[in-house]
Amino acid sequence: MTNELPLSKEQILDAAEQVLRRFGPDKTSVVDVAKVLKVSHGTLYRHFASKASLREAVTERWLHRCIALPLEGIASQTGGSSTERMRLWMETLIRSKRNYAANDAEMFAMYAAVTLDAVEMITVHIDRLVKQLAHIIEEGMKAKELKPGESEQAAKALFIATSRFHHPAHAFEWSAEKSDAEFDMVWKLLLNGIAA
């Protein structure tokens, strides 16, 4: 029953993610993850100090792969309109969160729970997203598409101002038909404030 091969962090995270999807974040234990890997739960504690640290690591990897990387692809594009790229970046963030809330409910629930506990990890994630948005804004400023100013401050303001459409605390509002129209209203107002 026991697996004698050394485990990598990725193997543990893969198994934890699989178990979390099957049982949900509240019912998943370290013992469940250990059973999938055919090791003792003590083996997992050599890699992760607690169930909370394992959940945080799974969430951090999920946010990186599923949210940050696709957005990085948009932020790093060159050419074209910066305002259109900003809008695409924001719509991709919103669409991704809605999609995961509806179609990957267990992982999304864990992410929502971790946002309350793992403040430092979530802060690092948000800072990464804000830097991506700031990069697009800075290019828009250089192209005189956007008013000159502090790009990171503008990005943070846009991120905060649109949080109703992407923060997990507001997930219950996302299915409302009027949500897209409300985002469009907010976006137009925000863009009017920074457009050259």
Span 50-98, pLDDT tens digits? 888 888 999 999 999 999 999 999 999 988 899 999 999 999 999 999 9
Which residue, 18, 123, 22, is CA-closest to 62? 18
Taking each helix axis from N to C end, the angle separating 30-37 and 51-63, rounded to the nearest 10 degrees, works out to 70
Record the tokens describing residue 155, joined without a space.
């990005």
pTM for the full model? 0.88
What region does 80 belong to: left with phi over 0, alpha with psi -120 to 50, or beta? left
In the block, tokens 């790229």 appear at 85
- As given in the structure block, the two tokens for residue 145 are 């598409």
pLDDT the model gives residue 1: 45
Helix spans in the chain (H): 9-23, 30-37, 41-45, 51-63, 69-75, 82-103, 105-117, 119-142, 151-161, 178-194
- Residue whose tokens read 């198994």: 15
pLDDT per residue over 91-133, tens digit each? 999 999 999 999 988 889 888 888 888 889 999 999 999 999 9
Query: pLDDT per residue over 160-193, tens digit each?
Result: 999 999 999 999 999 878 899 999 999 999 999 9
Instruction: Say whether pLDDT at 5 is over 70.
Output: no
Q: What per-residue confidence (pLDDT) applies to 196?
A: 86
Q: Give me the pLDDT at residue 3, please.
A: 56
Query: All domains of the chain, ordered by start, with CATH?
Result: 1-48 (1.10.10.60), 50-194 (1.10.357.10)
| pLDDT number for residue 40 | 85
Helix (H, G, I), strand (E, B) or coil at 122: helix
Q: Is 49 exposed, middle or buried (0-12, 13-18, 19+ CB in 10 A)?
A: exposed
